Amino acid sequence: MKDPVYFSNLNRKDTLKKLENESFDLVIIGGGITGGGIALDAASRGLKVALLEKDDFASGTSSKSTKLIHGGLRYLKQFDFWLVKEVGSERAIVHKLAPHLVLPEKMLLPLIEGGSYGKWLTSIGLKVYDILAQVTGDDKRQMLDKKQALKLEPLLPKKILNGAGYYAEYRTDDARLTIENIKASLNYGAVALNYAKVTDFIYEEDQVAGVVVKDVLSKEGDGITIKSKYVISAAGPWVDELRTINQSKKGKRLHLTKGVHLVFPHEKLPVKQSVYFDIPDGRMMFAIPRGKITYVGTTDTNYNLDKDDIRTDLADAIYLISAVNNMFPDINLEMEDIISSWAGLRPLIHEEGKSASELSRKDEIFTSDTGLISIAGGKLTGYRKMAERVVNRIAKKLEEDHNIEIKECHTDTIPLCGNDFKKYKQVKKYIDEVYGQIKEDGLSKYDAWYLVTNYGKQTERILSDYASFKNKDATLRMIRAELKFGIEHEMVASPMDFFIRRTGRLYFDIDSVRGYLKPVLEDLRKAYVYDDAQILAFTEQMEEELELHSNFSLERE
């Protein structure tokens, strides 16, 4: 494989010109994990690919998940063995593709009196889980007695605890996984553009032959036409809107459910490791420690409001806090302990008579009479197989319509950008090396861990820029170096792109957002020659984001 290629927002005009003047085999609508996975799969098989996202990459569902690459243990209870087998097997593959970004995470499943999981059924279930997911070695499940469980997690409820299951999962940053898939696709000739909204389709002989796109960042709202043999909509919650534009919304439709996560300082919820636990209404929930914080989630409620304005409401916060306090009786979390949150939508396939939690997480592909291919549903963990299925469909069409054969899927062998590691042990060793380079400046081991688990070996580029900045504040120098990397190589165009999707700081280190928003805005101003009105708008947007993620209103009418 060639050296990684990074795309630059500084060439936005050139990218737009290329999109307008060239024809493509495939246009993908949607820059989330599904669209990014499809772009990499299709481009690596030799197709000429363009990916378009109406907002920022990963700004929808793909930055709002529980941020786990996991097998979906709860789907065993629904007898969805196929889904458990597929996503369970995918965990090890995605870890291999990006071991710095997809991190091993042991999960503790407490067994409590009157809980959802009894000891015998849990033991059998986890055994089946291991078999279906092809788990080997130390990652195989263990059954723990009460004493062993409390040793691993002293915060568990002693009075009602009977023991625990102990099994392996993986943790990730969903938005970074998305951006690295997109960047990897560029290494195979794909073109990707954020803030490019598809407003209509173009047709030849009643078949979709391209799209009309609005450049959202252009003050004039310029539109271009992009020609393509095929168009795939991987727009997540917006799939049905595009089907409506295409006049093909019939038959199956989306069913949107909202999932909310709350973030607490780790000292307020000091779990020693990830816990998957019962809540009183019969659902299950995660508590996951991550650096300075612990986050918990998630809710699963029907959603019919504005898809571009999804909020954590007071009712969501009360529900999650009550569930945590029920499982960890010595904690007593309160509303004021929340420091951040996120809320997102699951684009599931509607099934009559089923509740939000009962809906299948399987993906489905729809093809309209005019040839628009749409994909919806699915799980973060299964993104690579979803991409394979939809590109296989394109491959079949290419052979039938144009007598063109393309390669088989081989994304299981393509390392994502930043991965120069053979084993996870090398990731840990590299964290130590990075810490050795920054500790004399007063930066912590956490800072080294954060850099490596976000960027992998791309950290070298960031450290080089870090050394060139002259600010006395080492954290400011590092943030400026990250921002420079994001502007030049990851199409960062706003503080929201940077603080939310590229770094996760709004969720995992919200104080750094408050402390360094002003210098970030100044560097963005210089990079893009933004005027005072644009900087003021960004400031107001970011202040609103800070407010929305840490203070909650009653459910809107």
Domain 9-61+175-253+361-413 matches domain 424-550 at the CATH topology level: no
pLDDT at 136: 73
pLDDT at 6: 42
Rounded distance, CA 485 to CA 557, Å? 42
Q: What is the dihedral of CA 391, 395, 400, 402, to 10 degrees?
A: 110
Contact (Cβ atoms closer than 8 angstroms) between residue 550 and residue 507: no
Q: Looking at domain 103-170+255-358, which CATH architecture does it have? A: 2-Layer Sandwich (3.30)
The CATH number of 424-550 is 1.10.8.870
Q: Could you tell me the mean pLDDT of each successive run of 10 residues in the chain, 557 residues long?
A: 42 78 95 97 97 96 93 65 75 92 93 83 80 75 94 95 92 96 93 95 96 87 88 96 91 90 97 93 92 94 93 93 95 94 91 66 87 92 94 94 93 93 94 97 96 96 95 97 94 95 96 96 94 95 87 47
pLDDT at 554: 40
Contact (Cβ atoms closer than 8 angstroms) between residue 186 and residue 5: yes
Rounded distance, CA 121 to CA 493, Å? 50
Burial class (CB in 10 A: 0-12, 13-18, 19+), 16: buried
pLDDT at 286: 96
pLDDT at 521: 97
Q: Which residue has the tokens 């020609």?
A: 227
Q: Do you know the residue count of the chain?
A: 557
pLDDT at 549: 80
Rounded distance, CA 538 to CA 542, Å? 6
pLDDT at 10: 42
Q: What angle do CA 487, 491, 492 make, to 5 degrees?
A: 60
Enter the pTM of the model.
Answer: 0.94
CATH homologous superfamily of domain 9-61+175-253+361-413?
Answer: FAD/NAD(P)-binding domain (3.50.50.60)
Domain range list for the chain: 9-61+175-253+361-413, 103-170+255-358, 424-550
